[in-house]
Amino acid sequence: MHLFFKIFVPIVLLVSISKGEQDPTFRAYRIKSFKFQGKEAKVVFPKKPNSERLWVWRARFWGHEPQTDIALLENGFHVVYVDVSGFYGNKEAVKIWNDFYDFIIQEYNLNKKAVLEAMSRGGLIAYNWAAENTDKVFCIYADAPVCDIKSWPGGLFSGKGSEQDWEECLKAYNLDEKSVLDFEGIPIYTSVKVAKANIPVLHVCGDSDKVVPFVENTAKLKEKFKANGGEIQIILKNGVGHHPHSLQNPEPIVTFILGHTSKRNL
């Protein structure tokens, strides 16, 4: 069975939301904020859920450039989030995501497959989780995603890096400056499983990104992804750096997501 969606991009809503007590970005929707295993978690409910109980799982930076999330809410998607930012996509983060997935599916009766939305460092957990849960992912939309920790936060190539985050990241993975050079538990390697599972991905990146350089991250992932038969689309924004994320008009992103969630998950 196929779903037919109307792509609705409520630009007026984006500029007219006033500051609310809980979450002004999604003030027009019912939102539940809670703790999950001590981590901040959220669920935003669409006004009218679609029959497939579809949902998008944002990996990082809740509420930042929410155009895609709001458009999907208008198409009946739920939007969910749990904060594992301090783990940099390591095994502990994957374990938390595994548990959160089970909770979300059972508590809210959502589809057994999710759409993953990976912004910046969110690329680490999104790809690492997807690699271990290929049967639970419709597709991945990644926005200027970190695909190699040596690029960010490491700054070992041309990118700026972040000294504090680099120290935290190495500790999270139990690595040092030498062992990290051969470490393969990062998206440029783990994405191979995603490619082999035929999970389509879309990356939106700026070609002038100095924080998460395109050539050190998405370009490397693309090479391995395509070599392993994966479907990857890239929207490269000319003259744009790490910010702004997303697209002012998210229709291409929304079209990609709707196109890969249109069949009932049996």
Sketch the domain layout of the chain as residue ranges.
11-259
Nearest to 257 by CA among 48, 111, 128: 111
Q: Could you give phi then psi for residue 43, rounded to 5 degrees?
A: -135, 130
- Position 2 scores a pLDDT of 38
Nearest to 121 by CA among 91, 146, 139, 102: 146
- Position 256 scores a pLDDT of 97
State pLDDT tens for residues 199-216: 999 999 999 999 999 999
Beta bridge partners of 80: 43, 57
First to last CA, the chain: 10
State pLDDT tens for residues 76-122: 999 999 999 999 999 999 999 999 999 999 999 999 999 999 999 99
Nearest to 104 by CA among 59, 50, 41, 62: 41
pTM confidence score: 0.90
State pLDDT tens for residues 215-224: 999 999 999 9
- Position 13 scores a pLDDT of 32
- State which residues of the chain have pLDDT below 50: 1-21, 264-266
SS3 letters across the chain: CECCCCCCCCHHHHHHCCCCCCCHHHCCCEEEEEEECCEEEEEEECCCCCCCCCEEEECCCCCCCCHHHHHHHHCCCEEEEECCHHHCCCHHHHHHHHHHHHHHHHHHCCCCCEEEEEECCHHHHHHHHHHHCHHHEEEEEEECCCCCCCCCCCCCCCCCCCHHHHHHHHHHHCCCCCHHHHCCCCHHHHHHHHHHCCCCEEEEEECCCCCCCHHHCHHHHHHHHHHCCCCEEEEEECCCCCCCCCCCCCHHHHHHHHHCCCECCC
All residues at 6 or more sequence positions from 147 whose CB lies less than 8 Å from its CB, including other chains: 123, 127, 186, 187, 188, 191, 217, 218, 220, 221
CATH for 11-259? 3.40.50.1820
- Position 22 scores a pLDDT of 59
- Position 17 scores a pLDDT of 28
**In the numeric block, which tokens belong to residue 164?**
């504090």
